[in-house]
């Protein structure tokens, strides 16, 4: 029998209103540049935390149809439980070292390896995508991310034909992550998807946002994004990628499977057991807008689920 542990996202609405809606507006919007992106990033990698641009060409296939969330809101209102249960973990998160950073690829793969992030970045092509992000708590943001398709990361590992799932594990660094002391959570933070979902063009790995390297609080130096799913699927600060034929037990599912399932596709008509998912509140403006099925990305992803009608796809 599970004990229900109140989470940070169960704060009353009054406690979570973003405080700085006016700063940083539309930074990074004009950053459309060519192949200089990789070199620029590698240079800044050594100068961790130094200001600088991280330009990559915009992929216009995924235009969001919404205003970009002010940078300050997207980078100061976060969920990253390793650093604590509040939304204001960004000062604490700055202590996480993001270089050097290694990612281990293992399981059912042809190329088991532990690679430095710089080696990974040399093998991929960066682009910018402006994507909607919908948290299960019913807040949402729209962010210009810099990164590369998740399929490119999986290709580095070389999945064997029997692999069915891709599992992502977040860093556990007790010296800088006070949230890990909350021993009732099933650390490490594990998330996962099917190999078909990972191969979908919308699945993304972010290494930057607003034309700059990803800040620690948003999952530096690399995090996954599944824009059609609730945000808890978007594991941050990834250290391990494992291919397997067994569906992983994921972090929130392990705590409360009835509320946070494996599939977690956005659906306004399927309420969370304790609140409606019909609307979402936009960080920054505070506007309340209707939520769309698959977070509005059905044209890209709905076909992934046509043969899975017996699964609990929406929570
Ligand atoms: N990844 C890790 N490692 N730890 C977390 O607590 N929270 C998830 C997801 N990834 C989380 C995580 C949740 S609930 C959301 S909504 C998003 O990160 C929030 O991402 P953001 O802070 O960049 O908005």
Beta carbons within 8 Å of 32's beta carbon, 6+ residues apart: 55, 57, 58, 128
Collapsing DSSP to helix, strand or coil, 191 comes out as: strand
pLDDT in tens, 88-135: 999 999 999 999 999 999 999 999 999 999 999 999 999 999 999 999
pLDDT of 40 > 50? The answer is no
Closest residue to atom 6 of ligand 1, CA basis:
80
The answer to whether the CB of 234 is under 6 A from ligand 1 is yes
- pLDDT at residue 305, rounded to an integer: 98
The answer to whether the CB of 230 is under 6 A from ligand 1 is no
The answer to whether the CB of 232 is under 6 A from ligand 1 is yes
Give the residue among 189, 231, 229, 237 at the shortest CA–CA distance from 213: 237
pLDDT in tens, 230-271: 999 999 999 999 999 999 999 999 999 999 999 999 999 999
- pLDDT at residue 47, rounded to an integer: 32
- The pick from 180, 219, 238, 264 for probing ligand 1's pocket by mutation, whose C-beta has the most ligand atoms within 8 angstroms, reads 219
Which range has the worst mean pLDDT, 10-24, 183-197, 265-279?
10-24
The answer to whether the CB of 231 is under 6 A from ligand 1 is yes
Q: What rounded mean pLDDT belongs to the chain?
A: 87
pLDDT of 9 > 80? The answer is no
143, 147, 152, 156: CA torsion to nearest 10:
-130
Nearest-angstrom CA–CA distance, 121 and 84 = 30
Closest residue to atom 23 of ligand 1, CA basis:
218
Collapsing DSSP to helix, strand or coil, 217 comes out as: helix
pLDDT in tens, 80-100: 999 999 999 999 999 999 999
> Length of the chain, please?
315
Residue 191: pLDDT band with limits 50, 70, 90: very high
The answer to whether the CB of 69 is under 6 A from ligand 1 is no
Which range has the worst mean pLDDT, 49-53, 162-166, 217-221, 276-280?
49-53
Closest residue to atom 13 of ligand 1, CA basis:
232
pLDDT of 158 > 80? The answer is yes
- CA torsion sign, 237 to 240 to 244 to 249? negative
Residues 243-265 as b/e (b if ≥16 CB within 10 A, e otherwise) read bbeeebebbbbebeeeebbbbbb
């Amino acid at each position: 029998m599970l004990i229900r542990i109140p989470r940070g996202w169960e704060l009353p609405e009054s406690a979570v209103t973003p405080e700085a809606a006016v700063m940083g507006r539309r930074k990074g919007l004009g950053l459309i540049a060519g192949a200089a992106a990789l070199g620029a990033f590698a240079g800044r990698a050594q100068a961790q935390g130094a200001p600088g641009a991280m330009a990559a060409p915009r992929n216009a296939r995924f235009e969001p149809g919404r205003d970009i969330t002010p940078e300050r809101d997207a980078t100061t209102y976060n969920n990253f439980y390793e650093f604590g249960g509040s939304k204001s973990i960004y000062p604490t998160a700055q202590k996480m070292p993001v270089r050097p950073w290694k990612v281990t690829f293992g399981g059912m793969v042809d190329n088991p390896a532990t690679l430095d992030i710089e080696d990974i970045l040399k093998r991929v092509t960066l682009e910018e995508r402006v994507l909607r992000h919908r948290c299960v708590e019913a807040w949402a943001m729209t962010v210009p991310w810099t990164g590369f398709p998740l399929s490119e990361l999986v290709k580095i590992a070389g999945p064997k034909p029997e692999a069915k799932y891709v599992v992502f594990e977040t860093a556990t660094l007790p010296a800088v992550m006070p949230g890990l002391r909350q021993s009732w959570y099933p650390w490490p933070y594990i998330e996962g998807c099917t190999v078909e979902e990972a191969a979908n063009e919308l699945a993304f790995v972010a290494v930057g946002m607003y034309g700059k390297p990803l800040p620690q609080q948003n999952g530096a130096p690399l995090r996954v994004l599944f824009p059609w799913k609730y945000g808890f699927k978007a594991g941050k600060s990834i250290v391990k990628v494992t291919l397997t034929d067994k569906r992983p037990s994921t972090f929130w599912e392990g705590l409360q499977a009835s509320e946070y399932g494996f599939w977690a596709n956005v659906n306004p008509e399927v309420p969370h057991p304790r609140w409606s998912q019909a609307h979402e509140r936009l960080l920054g403006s505070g506007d309340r807008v209707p939520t769309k099925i698959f977070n509005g990305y059905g044209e890209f992803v709905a076909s992934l689920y046509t043969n899975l009608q017996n699964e609990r796809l929406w929570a």
